[in-house]
Amino acid sequence: MSTSIAQIPSFIDGAALPMQDGGFDIPVIDPATEQVIGQLREADAGAVDLAVLAARRAFDQGPWPRMDIDARKDILYKIHDVLLANSEELLRMEVAHTGLPISGVRHHIKRAAKNFEMFAEVASNVAGQTYTQTANYLTYVTREPKGVGALIAPWNAPLALASMRVATCIAFGNTCVLKPSEYTPLSMLRMVELFHEAGLPPGVVNLVNGRGGVTGVSLVSHPGIDMVGFTGGSSTGRAIMAAAGQNLKPCILELGGKSASIVFNNADLEQALDGTLAGIYSNNGQQCLAGSRILLQRDIADKFIADFVARAKRIRIGDPTQEQTEMGPLAYRQHMERVLSFVEVATEDGAILLTGGRRADGFDKGFYIEPTAVLVDSDNARICQEEVFGPFATFVIFDTLDDAIRIANNSSFGLVSYVWTEGLNETMRCSREIRAGVVWVNTPMMRELRAPFGGYKESGVGRDGATTSAEFFTEYKTTSIAIDPVKMQRFGLGK
């Protein structure tokens, strides 16, 4: 890994914004080595204004929204190809600033490229409607791009998630300003440069870097934007929706979760064990769709916990640049400290610490912690209610199908859920009654990109997906045409 310090400016209207003297710089830290690997120049309100104006010009006067769909598709497909062609460089950057294991990040990059291919197709199939039922009128409904998107992304899977926000927005002819997380700007700048190398016109995607409270706030409250797409935590989502609401701008919000992974007595237990481990410990445990509450039916609980703990202890923790690594460091120091603080939160409520709960041995540097699991006796315990966003599993034992559904729904979140069973009744009841945006049966994390994805309750507002993204990122326009002259009331002909 190179030790040189990358300078990370914002990127506006097709070019890097010069880093003049006197700006505010934020160091970017490799969580595996704790070394500074980048220096981010924060975009203040003035820089955000430049970015929004560039996106506005590109939307109001530029070629992108007016382009023939085949030409737009060509560029989106080219972005797909260019991202893949530069995947090694993106991979190095993504691993360095996130600490995510390289094997997982490879999938994220494929997914980032796929997002552009997928939404190119979706956009080319967006169609309107016609109505001829009312005699003498032809009414047709057209779909138009909505305008300038303010897109805000988190640090836990920057390429996969920011690319989803951008692809769903620009494929329909919109333009945008992207603000990635201040912790993970390296691959984001390169990704935006690559969009331009692929032929994207200047101003269609603009990048502003900085903290949420400075750059993010300036962006979402800017009067020049038309909509907000946000992926991140629920409390931030609340602040963003309130700010956007002041200007009556619609939001799509993909937020946090505390998802239930339910293992019934009649499950294929080998599959369930693999699936629950992957559900909580993949991506260093830092994922919105983690199966962080593991609900076990009583008969299988003791053996399942023993097997789970034995496997958790054997997870290969280490340098994320190594292919064999299964878990790398957490994203940054305060996050690691927050995750570890949940051990006390759990034990104060009477939970039993089953494994982990401390920094991993054998590392002089880096924010490594051991895969952690606790057993609680009440699903009202704080550890069963709050999102930890780390490799921290919470087990709860249940007796009946009704109990399992009640516990799964005892949450202010409702992003996804996992059901492990060979039973039809369990499958159908969980599918019908769990209040979450996704129910995965006997599979972990199967993202069907065409289908709606998003959360119930505090896990989100709106849905990503083929038809749902088209719905959010386009406006409907209704045109009614009279075929023969219409008879009207005639004003102003009296004496």
Query: Known catalytic residues?
Result: 254, 288
Tell me which residues in 368-387 interact with ligand NAD (CB under 6 A). 387
In the bound complex, what is the minimum distance in angstroms from residue 324's beta carbon to ligand NAD?
A: 26
Asked whether the beta carbons of 309 and 8 are under 8 A apart, the reply is no
Asked whether the beta carbons of 94 and 159 are under 8 A apart, the reply is yes
Contacts of 13 (CB under 8 A, 6+ apart): 50, 54, 57, 58, 202, 203, 206
Q: Using the 8-state DSSP alphabet, how is residue 12 labeled?
A: E
181 binds ligand NAD (CB under 6 A): yes
C-beta of 62 vs 257, nearer to ligand NAD:
257
257 binds ligand NAD (CB under 6 A): yes
β-pairing verdict for 372-375 and 352-355: antiparallel
Q: Which of 104, 154, 158, 390 binds ligand NAD (CB under 6 A)?
A: 154
31 binds ligand NAD (CB under 6 A): no
Edge-to-edge strand list for the sheet holding 205-207: 15-16, 11-12, 205-207, 175-179, 148-152, 227-231, 251-254, 460-461
User: In angstroms, rounded to a whole number, what is the distance separating the alpha carbons of residues 421 and 178?
Assistant: 41
233 binds ligand NAD (CB under 6 A): yes
* Phi, psi dihedrals of residue 4, rounded to the nearest 5°: -70, 150
Asked whether the beta carbons of 356 and 312 are under 8 A apart, the reply is yes
Fill in the per-residue mask, 182 to 221: x = in contact with ligand NAD (CB under 6 A), - = not in contact: x----------------------------xxx--xx--x-
C-beta of 40 vs 305, nearer to ligand NAD:
40
Which helix (H) or strand (E) segment is 76 a member of?
A: helix 69-85
389 binds ligand NAD (CB under 6 A): yes
In the bound complex, what is the minimum distance in angstroms from residue 392's beta carbon to ligand NAD?
A: 13
Tell me which residues in 159-178 interact with ligand NAD (CB under 6 A). 161
256 binds ligand NAD (CB under 6 A): yes
415 binds ligand NAD (CB under 6 A): yes
C-beta of 218 vs 421, nearer to ligand NAD:
218
User: In angstroms, rounded to a whole number, what is the distance separating the alpha carbons of residues 385 and 387?
Assistant: 7
C-beta of 67 vs 217, nearer to ligand NAD:
217
The sign of the CA dihedral 168, 166, 90, 70 is: positive
User: In angstroms, rounded to a whole number, what is the distance separating the alpha carbons of residues 442 and 279?
Assistant: 12
Fill in the per-residue mask, 454 to 493: x = in contact with ligand NAD (CB under 6 A), - = not in contact: ------x---------------------------------
- For ligand NAD, the nearest residue by Cβ is 212
User: In angstroms, rounded to a whole number, what is the distance separating the alpha carbons of residues 48 and 179?
Assistant: 10
C-beta of 203 vs 216, nearer to ligand NAD:
216
**Count of positions on this chain that bind ligand NAD (CB under 6 A):** 31
C-beta of 62 vs 210, nearer to ligand NAD:
210
Q: Which of 73, 111, 179, 190 binds ligand NAD (CB under 6 A)?
A: 179
**Which residue type sits at 322?**
Q
Query: What's the token pair of residue 142?
Result: 């057209």
The sign of the CA dihedral 405, 408, 412, 416 is: negative
C-beta of 216 vs 318, nearer to ligand NAD:
216
In the bound complex, what is the minimum distance in angstroms from residue 179's beta carbon to ligand NAD?
A: 6
In the bound complex, what is the minimum distance in angstroms from residue 221's beta carbon to ligand NAD?
A: 8
In the bound complex, what is the minimum distance in angstroms from residue 151's beta carbon to ligand NAD?
A: 10
Q: Which of 16, 84, 239, 461 binds ligand NAD (CB under 6 A)?
A: 239
CA-angle at 294, arms to 430 and 355, nearest 5°: 175
288 binds ligand NAD (CB under 6 A): yes
| Helices and strands per DSSP (H, E), number in the chain | 15, 23
User: In angstroms, rounded to a whole number, what is the distance separating the alpha carbons of residues 110 and 294?
Assistant: 29
C-beta of 262 vs 288, nearer to ligand NAD:
288
In the bound complex, what is the minimum distance in angstroms from residue 118's beta carbon to ligand NAD?
A: 16
Tell me which residues in 54-113 interact with ligand NAD (CB under 6 A). none
Asked whether the beta carbons of 5 and 183 are under 8 A apart, the reply is no
C-beta of 336 vs 354, nearer to ligand NAD:
336
452 binds ligand NAD (CB under 6 A): no
Q: Which stretch binds ligand NAD (CB under 6 A): 53-61, 68-76, 248-256, 309-317?
A: 248-256
Query: What's the token pair of residue 171?
Result: 């494929």
Contacts of 334 (CB under 8 A, 6+ apart): none
**Which residue type sits at 483?**
I
Query: What's the token pair of residue 427?
Result: 């499958």
Asked whether the beta carbons of 209 and 38 are under 8 A apart, the reply is no
Q: Of the candidates 63, 69, 51, which has an alpha carbon nearest to the alpha carbon of residue 12?
A: 51
Q: Which of 64, 155, 332, 420 binds ligand NAD (CB under 6 A)?
A: 155
Q: Which of 232, 320, 357, 390 binds ligand NAD (CB under 6 A)?
A: 232
Residues that bind ligand NAD (CB under 6 A): 152-156, 161, 179-182, 211-213, 216-217, 220, 231-233, 236, 239-240, 254-257, 288, 387, 389, 415, 460
